[in-house]
Structure 1
Amino acid sequence: MSESAQQEGRSRRRAAYLTAGLGLLHAVLVLSSLGILRRAPGINASDAELIAFYGGGERQSVLVAGLYLMPFAAISFVWFIVALRTWVASYGRPEHSLFSNVQLIAGIIFVALFLIGGAAFSIDAAGIQLANATPDPSSMRLFPQLGQVTVVVLAMRMAAIFVLTTSSIGRHTHVLPTWFNWLGYPVGLFLLLAASLNTLLVTVFPVWVTVLSIVLIVRARRIPRQATLPPGTVWPLPNGG
C-alpha cells in the first residue's frame, strides 16, 4: 500500500488517542519538572544555602529538570499542537482561520519561552557541573528568578492565548464539549491576567491539557473503529498507523 493510501486509511479513533497521549505526556513532564525546581533554594535563601545546594549533589535535580524534563515537555507539546490541529481538521468542519493561526503561533511562542526558562533555571547548575565554575550566590538568585519570570509570567500569557483560541475553535467547530469550551475562557483569562511569580500558577495549564486529553479519550471511545481521516489529511507521525 502506498504511503498516501496509508495516511488516508488511518483511524480517527487512534488519532484522538495519540493526541491525548501527547497531551498527557506534556502535562506529566511539566508537573514533574516544576516539582523538582520547587525544591531549589529561593531568592530569599542565604548565600550558604545556595552554595550548599548548587555546590553539592542536589544540583543534579535542577539539571534533570532544566536540561531533560522541560525540553522534552516542550517537544511533546509541539507534537501535541500538530496532532490536535490535525484531529480537529479531520472532522472537515469549517475552522475560524484567525483563531487557528493565533493558536499555532501562541503554541510556538509558549514552547520557545518554556525552553528559555529551562535554560535559566539550570544555567548555574550546568556551569558548576560542566565547567567547574565557582558558585556565585548572586547568579544563583538572578537566573532562577529570570526562569520564573519567563515561565510563570511570559510563557503562561502564551498558554492563556492557546487555551482561549482552542476553546473558540472548539465552540466554532463543535468538536469539543460545550462545557469544556466555556471552561476554557475563565482558565485562559486567569492565566492571562494573574500577577504572580509563584510556580504553582504554571500547574493550571498542564491540568487544563490533562482535562482536554481526557475529553479526547472519552470522545475517541465513541468514534467508530472504521472512521478514517479524510483523504489528503497529513498526519504528523509517519508511522502512527
Structure 2
Amino acid sequence: MSTSPQHTSPAPTPRQLSTPRAAALAGVVFSVLFGTTLILIRIHMPAGHEDSAQWLQNQQSAITTATVLMPFAGISFLWFIGVVRDGFGRYEDRFFLSVFLGSGLLFVAMMFLATAVAAGLVASNTSVADPAAHAEVMNFGKMVMVSASQTYALRMAAVFMISLATIWLKTRLMPRWLAVLSYVLAVALLIVSEASMWVELAFPAWVLVVSGFILARSGRREE
C-alpha cells in the first residue's frame, strides 16, 4: 500500500519592517498638539500663589481640553522618537542612544504627570467644602504642575536635544547648523527654563523643524 507524498507549504520568510513616510508626520502632530496644550494651560496662569482657584475656575474648559490632547501628543512624540532612531541606521551609538531614549521617555512621563495634576485640579473644583483648604490644594497642585513641566520635563527635553545633536555631529545625518542650533536651544532650556513659562514652546518648535527635514529627506528618497 503506497502513500502519496504530502506537500507542505513553505514557511513564510520574515520581512524587515520599514518605517512608513507617514510616520515622519508624528513630529508635526506632536508640535501642534503639545504647543496647543501648553498654550491652553498657560493662559492667564498666575505666577505666584495668589488667584490659583480663580484661574482654574476661569480656564476650566481650556485646561480640560489640554488634558484630553496631551495623551495624543505623548503618543505622537513616541512615534517621533522611533522615526528619528530609524534614521540612525548602522550609525547607532549605544551610549548616546541610551541617553536619547531615556531623556525622551522621561520628558513624556513628566508632561503626563503635570497634565494629570491639572486634570485632578479640575475634577476637585466641582465641590468645595472648605474654601481655605481648597485654595491651599489648588496652590500646591499648581506648583507641582509647574515644577514637573518647567523644571524637570524641560531639562529632560534639553538632554534629549543635546544627545541627538551629538549623534548628528558624529554621523553628519543632519546639517551642522541644525545640530549647533539644537545645542544652543538645549543650553537655553537648561538655564532659563524657569524664567518664563513660555520657554517650553521652543521645544515643539524645534521638533517641528526636525520633522520638516525628515519629511523632506524621505520625499527625496522616494523620487
The verdict on a shared fold, with TM-score over 0.5 as the criterion, is yes
In structure 1, the partner of 2:64 is 63
1:159 to partner: Cα distance: 0.3
Contact 1:152–1:197 (8 Å) recurs in 2: no
For the pair shown, the structure with the greater C-alpha radius of gyration is: 2
1:201 to partner: Cα distance: 1.1
**Structure 1 residue ranges, 4+ long, deviating more than 3 angstroms after superposition:** 43-47, 50-56, 132-135
- One-letter amino acid of the structure 2 residue matched with residue 157 of structure 1: R
1:45 to partner: Cα distance: 7.3
In structure 2, the partner of 1:236 is none
Determine what percentage of the aligned residue pairs are the same residue. Answer: 26
In structure 2, the partner of 1:38 is 42
1:192 to partner: Cα distance: 1.6
In structure 2, the partner of 1:120 is 117
**1:104 paired to 2:101:** yes
Deviations for 1:20-41, whole angstroms, at most 9, x for unmatched residues?
Answer: x111111111111111112254
Unaligned runs of 5+ in 1: 226-241
Question: Larger relative contact order (C-alpha < 8 A, sep ≥ 6)?
Answer: 1
TM-score, structure 1 normalization: 0.77
TM-score, structure 2 normalization: 0.83
174, 191, 194: which one aligns with 2:192: 194
Distance across 2 between alignment mates of 1:203 and 1:26? 12
Taking a change above 3 Å as real, the CA distance of residues 71 and 127 of structure 1, as seen in their structure-2 partners, is same
Distance across 2 between alignment mates of 1:22 and 1:121? 25
Contact 2:154–2:193 (8 Å) recurs in 1: no
Matches within 5 A, 1:46-61: 50-52=52-54, 54-55=56-57, 58-61=59-62
Distance across 1 between alignment mates of 2:190 and 2:47? 24
Deviations for 1:2-25, whole angstroms, at most 9, x for unmatched residues?
Answer: 6833x45x4x6x43x422x11111
125, 149, 156: which one aligns with 1:151: 149
Distance across 1 between alignment mates of 2:212 and 2:23? 12
Distance across 2 between alignment mates of 1:62 and 1:121? 7
In structure 2, the partner of 1:220 is 218
- One-letter amino acid of the structure 2 residue matched with residue 163 of structure 1: M
Q: How many residues align?
A: 210
> Secondary structure at the residue paired with 2:95?
helix
Distance across 2 between alignment mates of 1:84 and 1:179? 18
In structure 2, the partner of 1:72 is 72
- One-letter amino acid of the structure 2 residue matched with residue 119 of structure 1: A
> Secondary structure at the residue paired with 1:223?
helix
1:165 to partner: Cα distance: 0.7
